[in-house]
Chains A and B, each alone.
Chain A
Amino acid sequence: MKKKKAATLEEAVSHLRDGATVLIGGFGYGGVPEHLIEGICGRGLRNLTIVNNNAGTGHTGIARLLEEGCVGKIICSFPFAAESVVFKDMYEAGKVDLEVVPQGTLAERMRNAGAGLGGFLTPTGVGTEIAEGKAELTVDGKRYIMEKPLRGDFALVKAFKVDPRGNLVYRKGARNFNPVMAMAADFTIAEVREEVPLGALDPEVIVTPSVYVDCYYVTG
């Protein structure tokens, strides 16, 4: 069985490199891989593209990556939350690029990438600025725009439990973007609270099967 458990936080995030596209799970307080993000802070990485629902809050996590000059671009649905003070200043100063994507389109673009598909037609954004530069098709009388898959070089996800193969289960609303990000990256790193023995997770309730997980770090 492939060894996926990282002994240290440093080992878990050691593969990240300049210019990578990094999918980071979480919504609000739930499902944020806080340890992994802190683990990539302070390494002097440059020109990362960060994909998350928001653009960092306060001065920790993604906001700290921004402050450290690690981020070239943010892809998110809700960039200007009241707490996104670091991003707002940097965006207005032209120090970071922004791509705003409707939240459902953002999730589906990643699911699409993970599913090996080349894009999809969505009614979301028809007739809006989001449609600019995209193909529009009418299917059975309904208008759609074409959206492309969004793949990550890395995904940082947070889960509740993991087994030694890397199967993941989540906790309540902390599931959010994590399962679709886990499937959409070339290298997926999971931050998990608890490791359980092989066979202890009910196969009927595993949300992210181990094939999507390359490495996990247990926070305890």
Chain B
Amino acid sequence: MSQIVKIPQKQLLKRDQIAKRLAADLQGDWVVNIGIGIPTATLPFVPAERDVVFHSENGLIGMGPPPTREEDVDRDLMSAGKGPVTLIPGGAFVHHADSFSLARGGRLDCAVLGAFQVAANGDLANWKVKGASSGNIGGAMDIAVGAKQVFAIMTHVAKNGEAKIVENLTYPPTALGVVTRVYTDMAVLSVTPKGFVLEEVAPGLTAEEVQAASAARLILPDSLRTIAA
């Protein structure tokens, strides 16, 4: 059963602020898959000199930023979200079966995915809303089970007030026990064997307010940090 939670009547982080915070955790030399939608907002916040290698499910290894000149837009060089991109020097093209072999085969250090819900045990729901006859899977199931870490990026609470941080999923799962960290407009959480740990809160919010906006118990760390926004 879905749980309605309390959203604090305060300024929450904007999409770009969440993306910037997440981007700070993408390490140099990692191979990272960026999902479609809100995850793409992280890309501009990862400096090229950090040399994160972005994988796009449609067979791009070393996806670079969008071209700056209109004449460099190429219909054969698009992201999974179908926006124009570039290829970094030393990038490669592979076909779809190889692209997903790479993902399932454990070569992704991290995947950044949107989410409808994340459960305390790391279960992820992001493909089908409750009660719908079907939905969009895309590459999410393969990428979520294959990546060494899954960072979920989402609003803390759904627009209708339903909790997205939950004890157990009420939406159909995408993959079980895969999410390692969650970045929201209220907080940064890690998923541990004991459940969610509240690591950072957005400026102006308290741990109590974030807990009240969650339908799972949040473990408080020894020192709670404020998100550098």
Counting CB contacts under 8 A, is B97 at the interface? yes
Task: Give chain A interface residues in 97-143, CB to chain B under 8 Å.
Answer: 98, 100-108, 110-111, 122-130
Query: Chain A interface residue count: which class?
Result: 35 or more
The answer to the question of B195 belonging to the interface, with a C-beta cut-off of 8 Å to chain A, is no
List chain B residues, Cβ under 8 A from A128.
141, 172-176
| Interface hits, B127-150 → A, CB 8 Å | 128, 134-143, 145-146
Q: Which of B59, B103, B134, B138 contacts A173 (CB 8 A)?
A: B59
Q: What sequence of 0s and 1s flags, for each residue 69-109 of chain B, a beta carbon within 8 Å of any chain A beta carbon?
A: 00000111110001000010000011111011101100000
Q: Which A residues contact B (CB, under 8 angstroms)?
A: 27-31, 77-81, 91, 98, 100-108, 110-111, 122-130, 170-180, 207
- With A103-B139, A104-B139 known to touch, is A126 a contact of B74 (CB < 8 Å)? no
B95 contact set on A, CB distance < 8 A? 107, 175-180, 207
Assuming A100-B134, A171-B76, is B97 touching A107 (CB within 8 A)? Answer: yes
Beyond A104-B142, A127-B173, whether A174 also contacts B76 by CB under 8 A is: yes
Check if A78 sits within 8 Å of B96, measured CB to CB.
no
Contact call A176/B136, Cβ cutoff below 8 A: no
The answer to whether A107 touches B96 (Cβ under 8 A) is: yes
Also in contact, A102 and B77, with CB within 8 A (given A27-B58, A173-B60): no
Beyond contacts A104-B142, A123-B146, A130-B137: 13 other A-B pairs, Cβ-Cβ < 8 A, are A78-B137, A100-B134, A107-B100, A108-B101, A123-B104, A123-B145, A126-B176, A127-B176, A128-B172, A173-B58, A174-B75, A175-B93, A180-B96
